[in-house]
């Protein structure tokens, strides 16, 4: 898998995770007391980042074998470079 293909898969994963922001945010705000969440937006940010990192690794492992340490670093670096966009979608 090329670097460009990997980035495209990760971008699709990030876009899918970002699309869930409104529903997660609404649900967390409604259940704030049960979940013991002080800042729903930070909680959603954690969910989205977990989805982006976790699902990207899972997709990569389905395409070949378990991601190597180098693959995991590439995934992390690609996801991290999109953090400003992810935060913009959640916090604006």
Domain ranges of the chain: 3-91
- Is residue 26's pLDDT more than 90? yes
pLDDT tens, residue by residue, 74-89: 889 999 999 999 999 9
So what's the pLDDT on residue 59? 76
- Bigger pLDDT: 24 vs 1: 24
So what's the pLDDT on residue 61? 76
Which letter, b or e, does each residue of 59-84 get, where b requires 16 or more Cβ atoms within 10 Å of its Cβ? Answer: bbeeeeeebeeebeebbeebbeebee
In the chain, pLDDT over 70 holds for what percent of residues?
Answer: 98
């Amino acid at each position: 898998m090329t670097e460009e293909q990997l980035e495209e898969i990760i971008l699709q994963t990030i876009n899918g995770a970002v699309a869930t922001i409104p529903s997660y945010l609404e649900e967390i705000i409604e259940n704030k007391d049960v979940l013991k969440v002080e800042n729903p937006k930070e909680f959603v940010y954690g969910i989205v980042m977990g989805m982006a990192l976790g699902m990207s690794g899972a997709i990569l492992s389905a395409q070949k074998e378990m991601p190597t340490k180098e693959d995991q670093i590439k995934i992390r670096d690609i996801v991290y470079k999109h953090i400003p966009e992810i935060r913009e979608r959640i916090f604006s």
